[in-house]
Amino acid sequence: MTHPNTTRLSSRLRLLCGLALLLGLCIMLCGLARPAHAQSTLSVSDCSSDAQLQAEVAQANSDNAGDVITFACSGDIKLSSTLSINGSMTLSGSGQSVTLDGGDSLQVLDVNSASFTLNALTIAHGSTQSGGGLSSNGGTVSITNSTFAYNHAGTVGLISGSGGGLSSNGTTLSITNSTFAHNSASSGGGLSITGESGTVSISNSTIAYNSASGGGSGGEGGGIFNGLDFNVGTVSISNSTIAYNSTGAFGEGAGIYNEYISTMSISNSTIAYNSAPSGQGGGFFNGGSVFNGATVSLSGNIVADNTGGDCLNTGGDNFDQGYNLSSDSSCGFTGTGSMQNTNPKLGPLASNGGPTQTLALLKGSPASDYIRLSSGLCPKTDQRGHKRPDNPHESACDIGAFES
Would residue 63 count as lying in a domain? no
- Cα–Cα dist 64/58, whole Å: 10
User: What tens digit of pLDDT does each residue of 167-216 get?
Assistant: 999 899 999 999 999 999 999 999 999 877 779 999 999 999 999 987 55
Q: How far apart are CA 52 and CA 176, in angstroms?
A: 28
Residue 372 DSSP SS3? strand
How far is the C-alpha of 260 from the C-alpha of 232, rounded, in Å?
A: 9
CA–CA distance from 336 to each of 299, 371, 372, 391 (Å)? Answer: 10, 10, 11, 24
Q: Is residue 35 part of a domain?
A: no
Q: Which of 139, 137, 80 is nearest to 107 (CA)?
A: 80
Look at residue 248 and tell me if it is in a domain: yes
Number of H helices, E strands in the chain: 2, 39
User: Among 14-23, 80-89, 115-124, 379-388, where is mean pLDDT lowest?
Assistant: 14-23
- Whether residue 178 lies inside any domain: the answer is yes
What per-residue confidence (pLDDT) applies to 214? 74
* 85 within domain boundaries: no
Classify 355 as helix, strand or coil.
Answer: coil
DSSP assignment of 124-172? ES-EESB-SSEEEESSEEEEES-EEES-EE--BTTBPPB-SSEEEES-E
Sheet of 270-272, strands arranged across = 75-78, 98-101, 122-124, 147-149, 179-181, 206-208, 241-243, 270-272, 302-304, 325-326
- For 349, residues 6+ apart whose C-beta sits below 8 A from its C-beta are 206, 208, 241, 243, 244, 273, 357, 358, 359
pTM for this predicted structure: 0.89
Query: Helix, strand, or coil here: 206?
Result: strand
Q: What range does the domain containing 268 cover?
A: 102-370
How many angstroms separate the CA atoms of 310 and 341, rounded? 10
CA distance 210 to 246: 7
In the chain, % of residues over pLDDT 90: 76
Q: What average pLDDT score do residues 133-156 get? A: 95
The number of folded domains in the chain is 1
Report the DSSP beta bridge partners of residue 149. 124, 181
Is 270 a domain residue?
yes
The Cα–Cα gap between 266 and 377 comes to 12
Of the listed ranges 211-215, 321-325, 398-402, the least confidently predicted one is 211-215
Mean pLDDT value across residues 89-116: 97
Kindly state whether residue 391 falls inside one of the protein's structural domains.
no
Query: Has residue 174 been placed in a domain?
Result: yes
Question: Does residue 10 carry a pLDDT above 90?
Answer: no
